Structure 1
């Protein structure tokens, strides 16, 4: 049995190189997401509430709508939605890890992911009730905004029946890291993205 297991593990290593291996329900070796292949990028954007920002996470740049995964619109361009909701699934999770660099596959495996159609503003101490799917806070008493610490956006290819799995081909993580405010408006905002692949 040990010899058989060793042979299977060796076959996986030879076939998939440095790719991590798991087994499906039939005992077949399958590749899983790797921390060692994850890439991190930063981007600062200038909001323009009269237009929608379409963003391609792979290229880390604004793009045409058809070449993007997400759109940023609304107040300070901070309403995040999918540009192709039938192709991707969007969600968010909270972690005690405050920086995206610390988010690993093991963290995603145990994260409590809440699926949603958009990420938006959460008002604090104001006339509107708090909402669960905020990714930044608006403090009504002094009209300041700030990212929600430890909150991460997650998206991957799939439909409403697709849940996170470390056997997905690619997973995107987004963190809103800063909002530069000037009075009642924002001069710019910054995000970091982390892309996990096999």
Structure 2
């Protein structure tokens, strides 16, 4: 890599790594170490092809998605992790702490899902990708994306009823972008 390309790559990493780390955190279920590994591996792949990449952020995001897909495919069925019941939530809806609490609860709820379910929801709602794009990225049919997303949301609602109370009808009730408002 020549010095101009190296400078361009460094600038990209400095400006976009925080956003890309948030996506990696969501994909990894909030495991910061796993998210940092995902991002680091994606950036290493991007560095090797830097001079040929036309849209660096799109390239790195796609590498993140595919690496996460490979992880959950290799693991097979993910083991469920038991978690303690959440504490009573009494924060008023207009309070600034309410938004923070909602993000924390959403993060815990997403970690309760399998990696495949979490990946589908992150791609579909956090990244706001159309079903066809999610299907293409994951190598499955649009129908699989629809059914997995529907089942994942139903499981999320069942496993984390505290979200409904916290969100006061915003986070999990309707609209294709209901998860985009809550970023763990």
Indicate the TM-score class for this superposition, using the shorter chain for normalisation: under 0.3
Mark the structure with the bigger radius of gyration: 1
Point out the structure with the larger strand share: 1
TM-score with structure 2 length normalisation?
0.25
TM-score with structure 1 length normalisation?
0.24
